[in-house]
Amino acid sequence: MAELVAVIASTHHPFYYRASTATGDDRPPFADTWVAKIEKFRETLTRARPDVLVMVGSDHFHQLWLDNMPQFLVGKAPFYDANFYNEEREFGLPRMVLRGHEELSAHVLREGLDAGFDLAFSNELRIDHSITCPIITLRPQADLPIVPVYTNIFAPPLPRPKRFVELGRALREIIESWPADQRVAVIGTGHLSSNSAVPASSGSTAPTPSSTAGPSNGSRAATSRAVSPRSPSTACTARATPPTASWTSC
């Protein structure tokens, strides 16, 4: 059976990526601190030795629009074109092609439907910075297949926060029920400091990511601290207690 080896909750804000690649006078003072924290995340993911990444993010009205807005969508394509023109122009993000994992995508879709979630799916999905920024920063070689899971956090009516948490719990069970000898890492991404009093709005310093094992037996892992009803796109990390867990609110 598949093993959930890591859960990481990280910002996907492209401004941080652009700041980290800036030089000279264009490089903001927080860039070095942010890079140091991201490198700890990268080490956490590397130590977990995943075979596949489940990426939970949100489309920013790039491909999904008001004429067709699913609440939860699973990508099940063999490959994903990634990043859009405005992301290249404004943030310097590169065009990418990421490999998909069709077998795990199909398993998530089938088991998710059986668990009571009316998941949409797409066999031809272009993904944006909510997926690519964490890959660029945490797995820059981009060598692992992905299963993108998009959540609607932009176009009301939105799912209740409780529903995001329920989906997160179901995702863990679904991954661990996958009959494959594979190591799976989940990366939940969002603007983890946009609606909280840390760190930018309060002037505090973001905590150093933890690379220790999370507690078990229903306890809350380190990632749970980053999950808020105001940040539903990262709710997949709630109650996750894999061997390796990290979080950030930078």
pLDDT (average), residues 104-114? 97
Percentage of residues in the chain having pLDDT higher than 90:
30
Weakest-pLDDT range from 2-11, 24-33, 170-179, 226-235: 226-235
Q: What is the pTM of this model?
A: 0.70
**CATH number of the domain where residue 26 is located:** 3.40.830.10
Q: Which of 13, 8, 27 is nearest to 139 (CA)?
A: 8
Question: Residue 232 — very low, low, confident or very high, per pLDDT cuts 50/70/90?
Answer: very low
Weakest-pLDDT range from 55-69, 118-132, 171-185, 186-200: 186-200
Q: Which of 39, 26, 27, 59 is nearest to 250 (CA)?
A: 39
Give me the pLDDT at residue 168, please: 92
Q: What's the gap between Cα 19 and its chain centre?
A: 20
d(CA 148, CA 22): 29
d(CA 244, CA 45): 8
Q: At a CB cut-off of 8 Å and minimum separation 6, what does 174 contact?
A: 107, 108, 111, 112, 115
Give me the pLDDT at residue 156, please: 81
Per the structure, the count of domains in the chain is 1
**Buried residues in 24-45 as b, exposed as e (16+ CB within 10 A):** eeeeeebbeebeebbeebbebb
Give me the pLDDT at residue 110, please: 97
Is there a contact between 190 and 12 (Cβ–Cβ < 8 Å)?
yes
Radius of gyration of the chain (CA): 17
Flag whether pLDDT at 64 surpasses 50: yes
Give me the pLDDT at residue 242, please: 40
Residue 148's CB is within 10 A of a number of other CB atoms, namely 25
Q: Which residue has the higher pLDDT, 34 or 197?
A: 34
How far separated are the first and last CA of the chain, in Å rounded? Answer: 34
At 110, which helix (H) or strand (E)?
helix 102-114
Flag whether pLDDT at 141 surpasses 60: yes
Beta bridge partners of 79: 99
**Structural domain of residue 93, as residue ranges?**
3-247
**pLDDT by residue (tens digit) across 214-228?**
333 332 322 332 333
Flag whether pLDDT at 208 surpasses 60: no
Q: At a CB cut-off of 8 Å and minimum separation 6, what does 125 contact?
A: 63, 73, 75, 77, 80, 148
**Buried residues in 93-132 as b, exposed as e (16+ CB within 10 A):** beeeebebbbebbebbbebbeeeebebebbeebebbbbbb
Q: Which of 219, 227, 218, 220 is nearest to 247 (CA)?
A: 227
